[in-house]
Amino acid sequence: MSDRESMLTEIIHKNPGLHYSEIIRVSGLKNGVLSYYLTKLESNGTIKIEREKNKTRFFTPTITHEEIRIIVFLRKETSRRILSVLSDSDGLKFKRIVEKVGKSAPTISQNLSKLIASDLVVLKLENSEKKYYLKRNSTLKKLIKKCQINNSYK
């Protein structure tokens, strides 16, 4: 494996779910060079490429579909904050999530709807009050640690 292939494999291993443009920025490689090496790494099974709508994300080949779904949300700032707030609590009311995340109520509502639709968050009615819970808390915490997801690659 060449130095460039090793570098790209390491970048993707440490930061699964990166977009092409993020890999260009992190690696310092030119567009054509990066395209060549990513195609080569995909064809020999060293990396996995997930394409959806207008987004292409890069992963290690051992990552599961469930982990990919979670990582995609962890790469989005508001969703990541919501998941983090819920992972540190035993269920929260909508108003409390808005306060802790620091975004507008419509933004939180839209993100929560997507997280619920993706089966990562569940809404329960307790004593006639709606509370949101993280559905896969242990998996999420493991992925945050494993993926080293941070803002330096955003």
The residue ranges of the chain whose pLDDT is under 50 are 150-154
CATH of 69-149 among 3.10.310.30, 3.40.50.300, 1.20.1090.10, 1.10.10.10:
1.10.10.10
CATH node for 3-63: 1.10.10.10
pTM strictly above 0.95: no
Tell me where in the chain the CATH 1.10.10.10 domain(s) lie. Answer: 3-63, 69-149
Q: What is the pLDDT of residue 132?
A: 96
Per-residue H/E/C for the chain: CCHHHHHHHHHHHHCCCEEHHHHHHHHCCCHHHHHHHHHHHHHCCCCEEEEECCEEEEECCCCCHHHHHHHHHHCCHHHHHHHHHHHCCCCECHHHHHHHHCCCHHHHHHHHHHHHHCCCEEEEEECCEEEEEECCHHHHHHHHHHHCCCHHHC
Q: What is the pLDDT of residue 151?
A: 42
Q: What is the pLDDT of residue 90?
A: 86
